[in-house]
Amino acid sequence: MPGWAVVTGASSGIGAAFAVELGRRGHQVLLVGRDQGRLDDVAARVPGSRTLAADLADPAGLAAVQAFLTDPGTSVALLVANAGTGAVGNLVELREPELRETVEVNLTAVACLLRSALLGMLGRGSGGIITVSSSAVDYPAPQHPVYAATKAAVEHLTRTLRAEAGPRGVVVTCVRPGYVRTPFHDRHGADHSEVPAGRWQTPEGVVAAALRAHDGNRAFVDVPRRRVLDRIWPHIEPLRRVLGPIKRKFDKRARVTD
């Protein structure tokens, strides 16, 4: 038996797909989420699993998950830190409670859970961690400023943990999904009508790519794989924003001269 796997945000979408696939691989799975009913629905597809209804923005909920991770009797082999949230709106439009919740769930809780998992993994000299970032970190993210910032922080945390824990037997991988058909997009009301149909991914596809990368001890995996333009655009876009007004100014002068 591969041991316990803990999946946060397991009541739907990517988290549910992780839980099902890890159960298929032979893990006992602890499904963590806010909605007990939806957790039960997913758990019915994962033999031998357990559920824990917990809000990671609530200190009591976070502590309950940490207690499982640090329990010597569970010996957690894999933590999938998938839970995430993010209100839609420009920074000045967001209410402070929404802003704080995004930081608490997407970053503070992730760091705390990773620390708790590592306490046992480093002692055993083995274990695995999968974090979930987003392709939103590569671009200016209007309407998602705090969400994108927290996901960028998760990526840096992943890099650091690979340096700290990798040499001691813990495999740390970050998956960077693009547009995925999950309830997350429906809940947060963003307009994705202009996203090409071919760019949408399934939760199962994201999970398959993430686990392949983790099995191969890769640091990051993009889903879908980024094209050349995707890789260079973050560097082109800021330059375009700076040079655009300058070009328009010179074009205007040229027209006056003519």
Q: In the predicted model, what is the mean pLDDT of the chain? A: 86
Q: At 140, is the pLDDT very low, low, confident or very high (cuts 50, 70, 90)? A: confident
Q: What is the mean pLDDT of residues 114-125?
A: 97
Domain shared by 236 and 133, yes or no: no
Domain shared by 135 and 256, yes or no: no
Q: What CATH number is associated with residue 193?
A: 3.40.50.720
Domain shared by 209 and 103, yes or no: yes
Domain shared by 50 and 89, yes or no: yes
Q: At 225, is the pLDDT very low, low, confident or very high (cuts 50, 70, 90)? A: low
Residue 257: the pLDDT is 45
More confident residue, 139 or 190: 139
Q: Which of 147, 161, 162, 209 is catalytic?
A: 147
Whole-model pTM: value is 0.82
- Domain count of the fold of the chain: 2
Domain shared by 202 and 256, yes or no: no
* Full domain range(s) for residue 258: 230-258
Q: Is 60 exposed, middle or buried (0-12, 13-18, 19+ CB in 10 A)?
A: exposed
Domain shared by 246 and 169, yes or no: no
Domain shared by 236 and 209, yes or no: no
Q: Is the pLDDT of residue 243 over 90?
A: no
Joined together, the tokens standing for residue 203 give: 């939760």
Residue 20: the pLDDT is 98
Q: At 138, is the pLDDT very low, low, confident or very high (cuts 50, 70, 90)? A: confident
Q: Is the pLDDT of residue 222 over 70?
A: yes
DSSP 138-166: GS--TT-HHHHHHHHHHHHHHHHHHHHHG
147 is catalytic: yes
For the stretch 20-46, what's the b/e string if a residue is b when 16 or more beta carbons lie within 10 angstroms of its beta carbon? bbbbeeebbbbbbbbeeebbeebbeeb
